[in-house]
Structure 1
Amino acid sequence: MTSLAIRVAVLLALLASYWGVYQHGRSVERAEAATATAKRDSGDRLAEIIGERGARQEEQRRAQAQEEARAHAQEQRTTADAGAAGADAAGQRLRDEAGKLAATVSCPGADTAAVARGQAATRAAMVLSDLLTRADARAGELAKAYDRARIAGQLCEASYNALIN
């Protein structure tokens, strides 16, 4: 029986050595998998950080471009308002002159026909002066509305272009 016991002992030793090699292989495999996972996770995190940095820079570029567009639009509004104020002043001078002209059109004299013509001319001049006043006021309103709409459209276009480019 000793030979059988030796065979069993050798067989058990052989099985134990195979089991040890198997367990060592599993632990090496786990360590390699853990290293690969850590390396992949590190690369993913690095890519994420680089992507976030790029996105943040792009967001800042867009915000700066939009702010520049808003500042430019504000400058244009200021210029348009100054131009409108100048046009209003010129229009007021024109209306004043038209009113003075309408007031001086009358033709005093002894001839009743001439007086009647003078009164008719005065009324016509006053109507034309009033018409000029209304037309000039409306033209000023339309010009201001056009300037505001044009500037707003340009601001919108510049903001859009800042987002797209």
Structure 2
Amino acid sequence: MTSWGVRSLALLALIASYWLVYQHGRTVERAEADVVAAQRDSGDRLAEVLGERNARAEEQQRAKAQEEARANAHEEHQVADAGAAGADAAGQRLRDEGAKLAATVSCPGTDTAAIARGQAATRAAMVLSDLLARADERAGELAQAYDRARIAGLACEASYNALTK
């Protein structure tokens, strides 16, 4: 072989070795980049799983707090309804006593003036008894409406506080 052929072969061998070194470097760099990307992706998946787990736990805690607020409101409704029933019973007794009083106000007798006064007193007592009955009934309705509104407001507030914590 001539010196030109040996030189060409040496140059070709040098170029081939540089090419192989270059390709090896690219392969190593790609492998390192793949490892870094895999670590990043794994970290991202872990963060996503932990985020979902925390969000579920927070959602369950909020749902539990809202359910507790609903249960508390239900209990308060039962207490208020029982109190209203007791107040209704007491009011009914009061109305009955008023009606009895109105019925007994009349004065039996022979004096016409006394009988007229007795009839006027009876009518007045009946009017006052009726007025008492209406006022008591309305007061019961208002108290019941107030209790319901207060309980609903407190339940709403508790539910809101559970959501904003």
Structures share a fold, TM > 0.5?
yes
Moved over 4 A (4+): none
Matches within 5 A, 1:109-148: 109-148=109-148
SS at match of 1:70: helix
TM-score normalised by length of structure 1: 0.98
How big is each residue's C-alpha offset from its partner over 1:3-61, in whole Å with a ceiling of 9 and x where there is no partner? 11111111111100010011111111111111111000000001111111111111111
Gaps of 5+ in 1: none
Q: Please tell me whether residue 155 in structure 1 is matched to residue 155 in structure 2.
A: yes
Identity of aligned residues (%): 78
CA distance in 2, matches of 1:145, 1:110: 51
Structure 2 partner of 1:37: 37
Matches within 5 A, 1:49-128: 49-128=49-128
CA distance in 2, matches of 1:4, 1:134: 128
SS at match of 2:90: helix
How big is each residue's C-alpha offset from its partner over 1:52-77, in whole Å with a ceiling of 9 and x where there is no partner? 11111111111111111111111100
CA distance in 2, matches of 1:115, 1:79: 49
TM-score normalised by length of structure 2: 0.98
**CA shift at 1:109, angstroms?**
1.2
CA distance in 2, matches of 1:147, 1:2: 113
Gaps of 5+ in 2: none
Query: How many residues of Structure 1 are paired with residues of Structure 2 in the alignment?
Result: 165
